[in-house]
Structure 1
Amino acid sequence: MARVLGPDGRPVDTVTLRSEIAGAKIATVRSPLSSYPADGLEPVRLANILREADAGHPVRQLELYEAIEERDPHYIGVLGTRRRSVSQIPITIEAASDSPEDEARAQMVRDWLARDELTEEVFDILDCIGKGYSFTEIIWDTSEGQWMPAKLERRDPRWFRFDPLTLQEPMLITQSLAEEPLPWGKFIFATIAAKSGLTLRSGLTRVAAWGYMYKMFTQKDWAIFTQNYGQPIRVGRFSPQATEEQQETLYRAVANIAGDCGAIIPEDMRIDFVESGNIGAAAGLYKERADWLDQQISKAVLGQTATTDAVVGGLGSGKEHRAVQKDIETADAKALAAILNRDLIRPWMQLNFGPLKRYPRLKIEQPEQEDLKAMAEAIVPLIDRGLEVEQATIMGKFGLPEPKPGAKLLRPQSGPAASPLESPPPAPLNGQRAVFERSAPPAGITAALQAEGASAAQPREGANDAPAALADRVAIEAQAPMEAMLGQIEAMLEASGSLEEFRAMLLAAFPKLDSGPLAGVLAQALTLANATGRADVGAENG
């Protein structure tokens, strides 16, 4: 295999790349066993653990983080929500260019991303959200003559350090306890900081640690309170003549009656149950404090509380709170995509094809959800007014396939039959469907047209000469074209919401109005008028 050069131009140790170098093993420096610094946690101890991490020794801090995630249901719930929301976002690959070579490289990455294990691998990489950073070892496969990531293995961050000078560059602890820089192309080093500053201090769990500790105090006090006041205090009374043996019998009965709910005492002895009058109010203080601490953790992790805590009268609507969570999700997705492009995609391409000018680009983002109902409501009137839209575009928006030949198609229901007095639907404009649906014309216009048609259909009194008969015939022939044009104009009037809109519609549709039949009738009328005038002048001169 040809020698592989790293980004610094130096040869890469391919033996190291092919080996699994950071696996766990008991009785070694990378032991999976850990201590439990969260046991007996109190403010001074917590502060010492955090200061120790700030000095470059984060082992106890990382072990504390693990314990907090294991013991605090609320924290693991909101942190898991944030990690899983990103790990399930679709991942896409953009080719570096339209060339066949770049498209083939992008397709190679797409095929690899189709693995079922990817979601869990991404979830493990996002462990950096809580701890501030995470390490994932790339297990390379070269069995088919090319470099392919076989799997992405999470590695315990306790097995890594940061260089002692800057506390920024990650280092791998070897079996000899030496600290070495991470081999190029071997690890995904992920950092998604909750705050700016040192990586060791940038995790969300560092913020949650204080709330966790105070909540544990509250829960402990709540448990003691419940044990002491959740049931009445037992008071045993004995007479002055009671012997020591009788007193011991009474004490055993009082002590055992809490758990056993039953006891036997002599007839001359008495046990009273004394109840506290403010148990409910006092118990509510512990619950309110624990809930308040949970809300602060929700704000730190998700940026809001509406999706995790039911707060009556809380500020902001659920939609606004979800928008805040969406912003955080988008930021996490962009940060993770940049990390994977840097530590996985680029080394992968360089191992197979050498240095490239441009590389396939991995993107993690939710597809934009279009409001199809709003789009339909907006575009239908525009189509009705002459907007030309390709059918395939609309079907693609709604995810509808092209109809198969011979398939039974759904069609719009036909409207009520038109009245004989109503004009026919307007003629299609520019080869498209009718611009407006034909509605019944106003009663005044219909009556006028009806009267005009009736009068035109009857010969005028005294109209026995040829010009008068021709005039009547022209009037009858002009009725249908006039009604057609008026029908289109009336439909515009019905569809418009204002005079300004009607004017704009009329100006836009005027050049397309079907005026051919009416123009022919008017030409006949002008010819008739000219001929009648000439005949009248000839009669007067004769």
Structure 2
Amino acid sequence: MPTPVLLGPDGLPIDRTRLLQEQAAPSLTSVRQIATGHPAEGLTPQRLAALLKEAERGNAIAYLELAEQMEERDLHYLGVLGRRKRGVAQLEMTVEPASDDADDKAAAELIRTFLDRLELQGEVFDILDAIGKGFSVTEICWDTSEKQWMPKALKPREQRWFRYDLVDGVTLQMWDNAGYLPLAPYQFIVHEAKAKSGLPIRGGLARPVAWAYLFKNFDLKSWITFADVYGQPIRLGKWGPGASEKDKSALLKAVRNLAQDCAAIIPASMEVELIEAKTSGSVDLFEKLANFLDQQVSKAVLGNTGTTDAIAGGHAVGKVHQNASDDIVQSDARQVEVTLNRDLVKPIIDLNMGPRLRYPILRVVIKTKQDALQTAQALGVLVDRGLRVDQDDVRRLLGFNEPKPDAELLVPAKTSAAPPTPGATAPEADATAPVPDVGGNLAANARLPASPAVLDTDAIDGLVDEQTAQWQQLVAPMVQPIHDLLASCANMDEFLKRLPSVVQAQNTTALTEALARSLFAARLAGETEADLG
């Protein structure tokens, strides 16, 4: 098969040999070095505003370094951002062929081969770093050892080694010793996760969260300073007339030592006074402010606070907030789908099978959480009403697998018969069983085949069938007085007023005797294992 000719965005053929070389790897001799700045140290509102403006103008290095430090220094931001990224990274991925043609199915199978990798979850997690910083760049490291083009690794690259074009603000360029260069085609996965519309560099969550981080940092510093001296008395040193600078220095050292080891010596002419510390106002102001800022960060990252912060509202509020988080996961998953289909699926197919009009579609599978009990109850009602349901659909809905041929299967609690094995023939029909006529009624001289459940009944089942067959005549003496009362009353208030007297006069003799006989017979059957029929 001849090697297909691939054209880059500039219309020129792509140099395949260059694809086998890493283009954005760091090195000590290039501008792409792992050493980084730390703009979070000594950050002020003025400095934060300045570096955000610089990012808009094309120099986003300080902003991206700050975004990295925010994840390292703010544990709450690290937690909620990591949760959002893991929510998508752990999802299953499937591939849909473009059509039922053999060639399209082969293309889809090629992508499935690549997805069957243990490293994929971590690689997708790195791609989702765009959620915080606005964009992420992942370099595709190609391998041709198996006579086909297949990525052997997806390596994340530092965002500060790239910048957006100064003219349009949307075209990403790579920083190199020769300046900023266009990204090589089929070499990079560029994912842009937008928290808001506008320029991509302004679409990351780190930009709005940076202000909350700054104010929380001020709050924590004040809180720690307050905690360091909270409850300690004020040490007031007094010196007498004529004290020298040496005496004053010794006195200052003494009062300071009182806070460290509670021991100090001073001349007799000097005096140290301990003044009891008294606090006024609310001492939990620092904690309240920190919690408030954390909740704002939770809203920005997860869309709510109920799934991360302990707030009033209980389970109901948590369910509502969980739905909001699910919406965000779905949005992130769809954005990842677009990126991977454009920057990963297409290059793999083009390099191995040539360009085409239709490509297989990679899907990120989002499984809807189902309440197993509610689903089972609904299925029971619907199936009893005649709804035909595929067992495979039910297993997929509830997360059950198809049982293996030698699997130990669960059986209904009321039957001791083993479940029918696949391929087993049904019991032969009884020629004497009544069959329904055209109208659905039972014909007089025909009989239906007995079901397996009826054939496998015990003494207790027989008693239950006997009593349920005559329930109407047993309950009638109790129900009829209520019917009579209802017919004689003019309104509901009168009915409710007279109801207690009627209930007290109900005749329960027949029902009581029937229950007593049944309990006695059931006890006898259990003791003797006899058939009461």
**TM-score, scaled to structure 1:** 0.72
Aligned to 1:134: 136
Aligned-pair CA distance for 1:406: 11
Partners of 1:162 and 1:411 lie apart in 2 by 64
Q: State the secondary structure of the residue aligned to 1:152.
A: strand
* Cα distance in 1, alignment partners of residues 22 and 355 from structure 2: 25
* Residue of structure 2 in register with 1:441 after alignment: 469
Point out the structure with max Rg over C-alpha.
1
Distance 1:395 1:303 in 2: 32
How far is 1:333 from its partner?
A: 0.6
Q: In structure 1, the residue corresponding to 2:305 is in which secondary structure?
A: coil
Q: Indicate yes or no: 2:335 matched with 1:335.
A: yes
Shift of 1:242: 8.2
Match of 1:29 in 2: 31
RMSD in angstroms over aligned alpha carbons? 3.3
Match of 1:71 in 2: 73
Deviation per CA, 1:382-440, whole angstroms, max 9, x where unpaired?
Answer: 4445555566665666526457479786344269xxxxxxxxxx968776959999562
- Contact 2:107–2:360 (CA<8 Å) still a contact in 1? yes
Alpha-carbon separation, structure 1, partners of 2:304 and 2:379 = 37
| Range moving further from structure 2, 135-144 or 384-393 | 384-393
Hey, what's the Cα distance between the residues in 2 that align with 1:83 and 1:231? Answer: 45
CA shift at 1:182, angstroms?
1.2
CA shift digits 1:222-248 (9 cap, x unpaired): 223233444221224567798987665
Amino acid at match of 2:376: A
What amino acid maps onto 1:132 in structure 2?
Answer: G
The one-letter code matched in structure 2 to 1:337 is E
| CA–CA distance in structure 1, aligned partners of residues 84 and 452 of structure 2 | 52
Please name the residue that 1:47 is paired with.
Answer: 49
Alignment check: 8 A CA contact 1:22 1:155 kept: yes
- CA apart distance, 1:66: 1.5
Q: Distance in 2 between matches of 1:243 and 1:57?
A: 57
Letter in 1 for 2:144: T
**Residues 415 and 453, structure 2, Cα contact 8 Å, conserved in 1:** no
Partner of 1:352: 352
Matched, 1:144 2:146: yes
CA offsets 1:78-108 (integer angstroms, 9 cap, x no match): 1111111111111111122223332232222
Q: What is the aligned length?
A: 436
- Listed as ranges, the matches of 1:412-427 within 5 Å are 412-413=413-414
C-alpha separation in 2, matches of 1:386 and 1:96: 37
Task: State the one-letter code of the partner of 1:101.
Answer: D
For residue 82 of structure 1, what is the aligned residue in structure 2? Answer: 84
In structure 1, the residue matched to 2:63 is 61
Q: Distance in 1 between matches of 2:471 and 2:335?
A: 67
Identity rate, percent? 41
Please give the TM-score of this superposition, normalised by the length of structure 2.
Answer: 0.73
**Paired letter, 1:96:** A
Q: Give the whole-Å Cα distance in 2 for the aligned partners of 1:307 and 1:119.
A: 23
**Partner residue in 2 for 1:292:** 292
The answer on whether the counterparts of 1:427 and 1:434 sit within 8 Å (CA) in structure 2 is: no
- 2:225 maps to what in 1? 224
Shift in alpha-carbon separation, 1:2–1:50, aligned structure 2, 3 A? same
Instruction: Tell me by how many angstroms 1:446 deviates.
Output: 8.8
Deviations 1:22-48 (A, max 9, x none): 101124111111122222111111111
Task: Report the CA distance shift for 1:254/1:392 in structure 2 as closer, same or farther (over 3 A).
Answer: closer
Kindly provide the amino acid, as one letter, of the partner of residue 232 in structure 1: P
The residue aligned with 2:195 is 194
Match of 1:166 in 2: 168
| Residue of structure 2 equivalent to 1:380 | 380
User: Equivalents in 2 of 1:317, 1:118: separation in Å?
Assistant: 34
Mark the runs of 5 or more structure 1 residues left unpaired by the alignment.
416-425, 449-542
Match of 1:361 in 2: 361
Q: Is the 8 A contact 2:81 2:132 kept in 1?
A: yes
Give CA deviations for 1:105-137 in whole Å, capped at 9, x if unaligned.
222222221211111111111111111011111
Structure 1's 257 and 427: CA in aligned 2 closer, same or farther, altered over 3 A?
A: farther
In structure 2, the CA distance between the partners of 1:363 and 1:414, relative to structure 1 (3 Å rule), is closer
Q: Residue 253 of structure 1 corresponds to which residue in structure 2?
A: 254
The amino acid that maps onto 2:226 is F
Check if 1:20 corresponds to 2:19.
no
User: Relative to 1, partners in 2 of residues 1:5 and 1:432: Cα closer, same or farther, differing over 3 Å?
Assistant: farther
Give the equivalent residue in structure 1 for 2:305: 305
Q: Give the conservation status (yes or no) of the 8 Å contact 1:345–1:360.
A: yes
